[in-house]
Structures are given as structure tokens and as C-alpha cells.
Amino acid sequence: MDGRYQMEMRVGEGGMAYVYRAKDRQSGRTVAVKVLMSRLTGDQEAVARLRREAQVAMRLDHPNVCGILEWGEAGGMPYLVMPFLEGETLSRRETRHGPMPATLAVPFLRQLCRGLQHAHSAGILHRDLKPENVMLVTEDSGSEHAVVMDFGLAKESVAGPEVMKLTATGIVLGTPEFMSPEQIRGKPLDARSDIFALGVLGFEMLTGRLPFEGNTGQDTMLAHLTGQPMRLRQVNPELSARLERVIAQSMAHRADDRFASMQEFEEALDGTEETT
């Protein structure tokens, strides 16, 4: 790729792009290269979205966020280069092991809060938090930390007309199971929408179930708009009452009733892994 990146193997794919493990011949470093699918290379909006993902993520520098090293185009094929993270996605971990004990899940949630607070402080909302977009990265010591991936649907709080067109209010983008009521309605979003999504993600991590359930994506969105989420301790009574209250507040129907920031959410999670 571009005479620099030696592609080794495909390691993932999404709706728009493939991700490959590759060797950077200049530095000798192993990297991940995200390449737009060939059927989309002529789609100006898809190309613009990938370019904007690179522009957004290149502004981020935090241990709990996967940033972008470089953006390029080779033979008309757009690509972006990211650090290659050793580990597995949260979705794969959940599939293999089911619900996490609070002693594991709460520290991961707090790390995700810190990474997302960094993005929000830079004026960037994620808008598509879900287990597939969280990587559990293995460190040399054998311990793990959580990293937010894929800012493909990210939206800047202050953006130019081209960006606004790509992420226009009134167009529902995201994953139904994790979307806030205001995101489903196509209303203006702020950090509290990501807080809602992280609360849903935390509920699933801790219980193996979603707090709002439906047979289809449409049913799930309707449940988000009209229903009350399950309480955490309905599913797992061993979890602490404090943790139940914190997760419930993060998923409050009205944005004003949620935590005001990821920092506030993270501080509220402190010590909640203790069982009752």
C-alpha cells in the first residue's frame, strides 16, 4: 500500500472498510490499515466520511482512545493508519465469557469515561459506542486496558457545512441498541448522548443482557423512546445498589437527568465494584 505498508492479513471489517495488520517499512512498526471497500471508492460521501474520521481522530491523544497516525490515498483507494492494538474487542470477550464481574467491568468503564472525556473536551462526540468499538488491549505486564475505537460516526460540536452535511441532525446514524432517545429522534446531541450509550454498554458488560429489549431494531428504538430500562440488580442481585443507581442515572430518559459529563460519570463509578 503506497509503497510503504506491507499488508499481512485482514483482521476486521465494518460496513464501509476493511482493517488489515500491516508492517510499516519505514519504521518497522506493526500498524493497522483501514481501507475503504472497493465498491465505495467512487462514493464521495463514503470517502469524505473516512477522511473526516482521520481528521477527527488525529486530534486525539489519550491511552484510552485509538488515534490515527496517517491518512492517505493509493491508486484512488483511501486509507488510514492506526496503531495496531494487541487484544480483542469487547464484543468478542462477551461472546466468549459472558457477563464480567464488576471488579473487571467497572475499571474498564472508568477508563472509557476518561477516553471519551478527552474526546468531548476536544469537541468530539463518538455517537456509535458499542462493544464492537471497544478494544481490550493486553499490556506487556499481562494486564488490560480499554480503548475506544472507530470515530467513523463522530461529530464535532463546532463543524463546518461539509461536516454538518455528513452528520446532519435528522438523519439517524448509530446502532439502535445503544442510541439515546434524542439520537433516535434525530435531535441535537451533546456529551450526554454518549453517556447514555456507555451506560447501556456497561449494563450489557455486567449482565450479558440489554436494558431495553426488542425483537427488531425498530422495536428496540421504540423501547428506548417509551420504555423503562431494566434495573441492574433485577438481572444480577449480587451487584451493588450504588452501581445500579449510577448505571440507571447514565441511562435516564431525559438528558438533563443524566451525568453532565464523562468525568462526573467516572467519579460516580468509583468504588461501585464492591458487592452488597
Catalytic residues: 128
CA distance 41 to 15: 13
**Which residue's entry shows cell 467491568?**
105
Span between the terminal Cα atoms of the chain, in Å: 54
Q: Do residues 186 and 170 make contact, with C-beta atoms less than 8 angstroms apart?
A: yes
Q: What is the identity of the amino acid at 272?
A: T
Coil, strand, or helix at residue 173?
A: coil
C-alpha cell at 146: 480499554
Q: Residue 62 and residue 114: Cα distance in Å, rounded?
A: 9
Q: Do 129 and 194 touch, CB atoms closer than 8 A?
A: yes
Q: What is the DSSP string of 61-125?
A: --TTB----EEEEETTEEEEEEEPPPEEEHHHHHHHH-SPPHHHHHHHHHHHHHHHHHHHHTTEE
Burial 85-121 (b: 16+ CB within 10 A, else e): bebebbeebeeeeebbebebbbbbbbbbbbbbbbbbe
